[in-house]
Structure 1
C-alpha cells in the first residue's frame, strides 16, 4: 500500500515592496512629517497648559520659561476651588451637556429617519431647511433667542441655557447620510413582519448606525460642554453658570500676572472630562465619519 507525502513546495508569497531611500523620503515628507507637525500644534499647547497649572506664578512669568515646573505645586487648583463654586459649576455643565446633548442626539436620530424612510411630500422640504440651518450662523440668532428666553423667564436658569440649542442640523445631516447607506429591503422585510416605524428605527436602523451615532454624540457633547457665548449672555449668577463661563469669575489676567497658573488650572479642569469622553468613544470616530463613504 503506497503512501503519499504532502507536497513541500512553498506557497508563493506576495513580493514585498522594496523600500528605497527615495520612497522613504517621500513617505516622510508627505505623511509622517505633516502628521508630526499637526500633532505638535495641537498637543503642545495642551501640555503647556497642564504643566503651567502646577507652576508658581514666578515660573510662568519669567524671561527664561521652562516646560516642566521646577517645584510642582497644587496651589493653583486650591485657588480655583477657593475662588469658584467648582462643584456647582461642574453640576451645571454636566446637566446642560447630558440633557441638551441627549435631546439633540435623539432629535437627530428621529428627524433623519423621518427624512429618509418616511416618504412624504414634505421630506425634501424639511431637509432643505436642515441644509439652510447649516449655513445660518448661530451668532445671528443670539438677540432673538435672548428676547424670547428672557420673556419666558429663562434668565439664570438651566433650561434657558438648554432650550435654544436643542436642534442639531449637523447631527441630522450626518445621520441622514448614514441612513442612506442602509438597504431599504431590510426595512421592507421588517414591515412585512408587522414592524412599525418605531420598531424599525430602534431594532434595525439604530444598531447598524452605532459608529455614526457615537460620532454625533461626541461632537454634541463637546459643543455643549464648551459652549461659552450663550451661557455667558443668559446667566449672570454663579449658581447657574457653566464651567467655561465660571472661569471668568477668576481675576482677569490683564490686571494681574499672578493668576496665570490659576487660569491654567481652571482650564485643565474644564478640558479633562472631554478628554475622558473622547478616549471612551474614539474607536467609533473614524468609523462613524467614513461609514458609507465606500460602496460595496
Structure 2
C-alpha cells in the first residue's frame, strides 16, 4: 500500500468570539472615556472662571474698604500740613495754600510732647511685658496642667471679658487711692496686666502643640518651667507676637483710665497730651493732627516689624488643630 500525501487546504484564522466581544466593548468604553474627559475639562474651566470672578469681587471689596479706611488717615496727614486758619476753610480743601512742615516742629515746643511720648513708651513696654508674662503662665496652667475645677475657673476668668472697662474704673480708682498709686506709672500698668484675652489667645495656641513634645521633655527630666520656656514658647511665638501688638496698642491708645488716675502732667501719656493743644483761639487742630501722626509711628512700626508673625499667630490661636 503506497504512501500518499494528502494536502489539507489552509484555513484562514478567524477571530475568537471573546476577541470580537472585546472589540465591540472597546469602542463604547473609548467614547465614554473621551466624553468624561471632555466633561472634566468643561467643569475645570467653569471652576476656574468662577474662581477668577470671586477673586475679582474680593479684590474690589478690599479696595473699597482700603479707600474708606484710608480717607481719615489722608485727611489727618493733609490737615497736619495746613496753616491753622485753613483747617476749617469753606469749601473744604485737602491741600492748603502752603505746606507747613513747621507744624511738626511746633508740636514739640507747644506742649511737652517728648515727655508724653516717653511716658507712653514706658507704660506700653512695661505693660506689654507684664501682660505677656502673666498670660503665658496662666495659659500654660489652663492648657497643660490637670487640677480640679480647671475648666470652671477658666470660663469664669473668660467671663471677665464681658465686663466693660467703664464698670470697673471707679472701684479700681478707689483701690489705687488706698495703695497710694495715683499719679504713678504702676497705676497705669498693673491694673490691666492680667487679661483674660491674652490667656485665652495663648491657651488656644498651646492646645495645638502636640503632647508628644511635652512628654519627651518630661522623659529628659525637664521641669514644667523648662518645658514651657524651651518647648511650648518657641512653638507659640507667632501668637505671642500677636498678643504683643494688641497689648502695646491698647496701652498706647488708652485714654479713659489715664484720664481718671493721672492728675500730674508729668505722667500724662500721648492721648492725654493731645488734649492739651489748647490755645487762645481754641484747639490747635493742625498741631493735634501733626501730633497724632507722630504718635502713630511706634504702633505702626511694631506692626510692620512683627508682620510675618501676625497671620501665622492668628491662625495658630484660632483653635485650628487644637484639642
Q: Settle same-fold status: TM greater than 0.5.
A: yes
Question: Residue 212 of structure 1 contacts residue 288 of structure 1 at CA under 8 Å; is this kept in 2?
Answer: yes
Gaps of 5+ in 2: 1-40
Could you tell me how far 1:50 is from its partner in structure 2?
Answer: 1.4
Pairing of 1:81-92 with structure 2 (within 5 A): 81-92=108-119
Question: Of the candidates 265, 271, 286, which is equivalent to residue 244 of structure 1?
Answer: 271
Q: Which residue, out of 109, 113, 131, partners 1:104?
A: 131
Q: Any residues of structure 2 matched to 1:197-212 within 5 Å, and which? A: 197-212=224-239
Q: 1:287 is matched with which residue?
A: 312
Residues 179-190 of structure 1 mapped to structure 2, 5 A cutoff: 179-190=206-217
The within-5 A match list for 1:5-24 is 17=45
Q: Distance in 1 between matches of 2:170 and 2:283?
A: 36
* Cα distance change on mapping 1:209 and 1:258 into 2, 3 Å: closer
Query: 2:204 touches 2:319 (CA, 8 Å); kept in 1?
Result: no
- 1:134-213 alignment to 2 at 5 Å? 134-213=161-240
1:48 maps to what in 2? 75
TM-score (norm 1): 0.87
Would you say 1:95 and 2:122 are equivalent positions? Answer: yes
- In 1, the alpha carbon distance for the partners of 2:218 and 2:51 equals 55
Q: What is the RMSD of the two structures over their aligned residues, measured on CA atoms?
A: 2.3
2:241 to 194, 198, 214: 214
Judge conservation of contact 1:130–1:172 (CA < 8 Å) in 2: no
Aligned residues: 280
Q: Which moved more, 1:104-113 or 1:73-82?
A: 73-82
The 3-state SS of whatever aligns with 2:252 is: helix
Distance 1:32 1:290 in 2: 22
CA distance in 2, matches of 1:268, 1:295: 40
Query: Counterpart in 1 of 2:6?
Result: none
Structure showing greater Rg: 2
Aligned to 2:300: 275
Instruction: Name the structure 2 match of 1:121.
Output: 148
Alignment pair present for 1:62 and 2:89? yes
| CA-CA distance at 1:269 after TM superposition | 1.7
Q: Which runs of 4+ in 1 moved over 6 A?
A: 18-23
Deviation at residue 267 of structure 1 after TM alignment: 1.1
Superimposed CA distance per residue, residues 195-230 of structure 1 (whole angstroms, 9 cap, x where no aligned partner):
000100011000011110100111000001001100
**Residues 60 and 261 in structure 1, CA contact (< 8 A), matched pair in contact too:** yes
**1:113-161 CA-partner distances (Å, limit 9, x unpaired):** 0111111114213312221111111211001000000121111111111
Secondary structure of the residue aligned to 1:249 is coil
CA contact (8 A) 1:57 1:257 kept: no
How far apart are the structure 2 equivalents of 1:245 and 1:142? Answer: 17
Structure 1, unaligned stretches of length 5 or more?
1-14
Cα distance change on mapping 1:155 and 1:258 into 2, 3 Å: closer
Q: With the length of structure 2 as denominator, give the TM-score of the two structures.
A: 0.80
Query: Does the aligned pair in 2 maintain the 1:215–1:288 contact within 8 Å?
Result: yes
Instruction: Flag the 1:17–1:54 CA change in 2: closer, same or farther, 3 A.
Output: farther
Counterpart CA distance in 1 for 2:290 and 2:98 is: 16
- Please give the secondary structure, in 1, of the residue aligned with 2:275: helix
